[in-house]
């Protein structure tokens, strides 16, 4: 029998079990950066490109139409102006997510932060509240803190991803380790869909698309690409290129053809 959680997950993942998410939660942490000044325009652009879901904070969810895409409400955050931007605190609630018609909620945990325990405590409470009402939880599990030398290292990424799974996340989002074989081991140790974070802007479209392709080869259930999409000169086409790789099995070279003569152009600067 299909549950409410299953129905909601089907609005985020297609029948192939994969997803292209576009996170747009950056306004809380860094303000209205390029690409996010007009949220209606940006959300419309990625919807036209075929994105499966968008991830936003409550104010955006209240005021901007998600254009039929899956809606993930981000519940935590911090500004870059504070003493420790890595200390993410809860900003919205599961009840609000339900009122806004969200298909899932997301929580950011920096594993290795001096405030890791605080973030894990709020994460566990959100998991319990969400499970009670059948709302999926996406856990952003990032190795980040004073003791983390390489945020993309296999040991720390696999630990962070496994932690999210062990605590009960329905979807785990984490960093790519840099190579297919090591990331495959990360995916195999997590019996929940693993989504790869896009991270900082890539130097070129080719670099960004190769990361996506390698992630899918390693068994990832999709990608969550923000700046490399919404700060692109044509977000609709860049989104379409991601969809080609994730859902249609295209190579980076084939996906680049969607972008035409701009295929190797340096991405627009932030």
For CA atoms 214, 54, 170, 75, the dihedral sign is: positive
Residues with active-site annotation? 25, 142, 173
């Amino acid at each position: 029998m299909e549950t409410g959680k299953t129905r909601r997950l089907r609005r985020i993942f297609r029948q192939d079990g994969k997803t292209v998410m576009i996170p747009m939660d950056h306004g809380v942490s860094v303000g209205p950066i390029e690409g996010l000044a007009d949220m209606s325009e940006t959300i419309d652009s990625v919807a036209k490109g075929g994105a499966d879901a968008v991830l936003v904070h409550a104010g955006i969810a209240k005021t901007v139409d998600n254009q039929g895409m899956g809606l993930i409400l981000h519940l935590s955050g911090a500004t870059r102006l504070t003493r420790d931007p890595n200390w993410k605190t809860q900003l919205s609630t599961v009840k609000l997510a339900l009122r806004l018609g969200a298909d899932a909620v997301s929580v950011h945990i920096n594993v290795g932060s001096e405030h890791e325990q605080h973030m894990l405590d709020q994460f566990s409470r959100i998991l319990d509240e969400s499970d009670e009402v059948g709302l999926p939880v996406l856990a952003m599990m990032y190795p980040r803190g004073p003791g983390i030398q390489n945020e993309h290292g296999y040991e720390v990424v696999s630990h962070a991803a496994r932690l999210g799974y062990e605590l009960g996340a329905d979807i785990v989002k984490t960093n790519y380790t840099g190579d297919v074989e090591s990331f495959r081991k990360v995916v195999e140790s997590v019996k929940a869909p693993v989504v790869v974070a896009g991270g900082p802007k890539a130097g070129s479209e080719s670099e960004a698309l190769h990361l996506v392709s390698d992630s899918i080869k390693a068994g990832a259930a999709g990608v969550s690409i923000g700046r490399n999409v919404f700060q692109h000169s044509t977000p609709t086409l860049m989104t379409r290129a991601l969809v080609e790789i994730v859902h249609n099995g295209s190579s980076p070279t084939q996906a680049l053809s969607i972008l035409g003569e701009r295929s190797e152009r340096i991405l627009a600067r932030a």
